[in-house]
Amino acid sequence: MESGKTRLPTDESEQNRRKRSKAVALKGDGTLDTPPIVSAVGFGKNAEQILDIAFANELKVRRDADLAEILAAMEVDSPVPLEALEAVAEILTYVYGLNRKMADHDKSVESAETWKP
């Protein structure tokens, strides 16, 4: 298995693990043909690292404790389960909408900068 794709064993109880912060990263091909894949799961400091990487790469991040709980139970490289697909679809719709607005804004700024009276 590739580095960063395994969960480190811990001695803490499941209840303590659930109280810590968690982050889940998803990847997908942007089509409806295949569900997104869980690409990283982290707790505590590992969750912070996942978020740092997302912010550094200007990726959209959304807080959803219930969805994170479901996805954090998944193995890395597993497809998002059917129970979570609706929530993931809502998030992706939101993200794609923001990306579209940003692209439209960038085009209008670019047009305004190149326009000469």
Task: Decide which of 101 and 77 is more confident.
Answer: 77
pLDDT at 27 over 80: yes
CB 77 within 8 A of CB 25: no
Question: What are the sequence ranges of the domains in the chain?
Answer: 14-114
pTM of the model: 0.57
pLDDT at 65 over 70: yes
Q: What would the CATH number be for the domain defined by 14-114?
A: 3.40.1690.10
Distance CA(56)–CA(114), nearest Å, equals 30
Burial code (b: 16+ CB inside 10 Å, e: under 16) for 25-40 equals bbebeeeeeebbbbbb
Residue 99: what pLDDT? 74
